[in-house]
Amino acid sequence: MDSDKKRVTPTKLIVLLAFVRDEEGELRSAFEPREMQSEDKAKMDARRMVGLGTYEGVIAWCRSADMVNGVFGDPVVLFQHGNIPDLD
């Protein structure tokens, strides 16, 4: 029974990402994806970024993540504004 209690449980990966247009007009990441500590913080920061007017698009998303086994759930969008390229 003790071994069951020590099993690693899946965690949640929460990510914030913003986009700008390059010289050719293509969307590109404004910075490396930022891992956030909570969904609320991700949404708050995303709204703040939109308010700056600097970014073409902003997205915050989350998904379950079993880092030990490399298994990830489907992404769930928490906040999205503006133009976002296809994220694979």
Is residue 8's pLDDT more than 90? no
d(CA 32, CA 51): 20
Where in the sequence is the domain holding 77, given as residue range(s)?
2-82
pLDDT at 3: 47
- pLDDT tens readout for residues 14-37: 999 999 999 999 999 999 999 999
Confidence of residue 88 (pLDDT cuts 50, 70, 90): low
Residue 88 lies in a domain: no
d(CA 82, CA 5): 44
Structural domain total, the chain: 1
pLDDT range class, residue 5, cuts 50, 70, 90: very low
- Measured at the alpha carbon of residue 60, what is the angle toward residues 54 and 61, in degrees to the nearest 5? 160
- Determine the pLDDT at residue 87: 72
Query: Smallest Cα–Cα separation from 45: which of 60, 55, 31?
Result: 60
Residue 19 in domain: yes
Report the chain's mean pLDDT, rounded to a whole number. 89
Is there a domain that residue 87 lies in?
A: no
- How far apart, in whole angstroms, are the C-alpha atoms of residue 81 and residue 84? 8
> Looking at the domain assignment, is residue 27 inside a domain?
yes
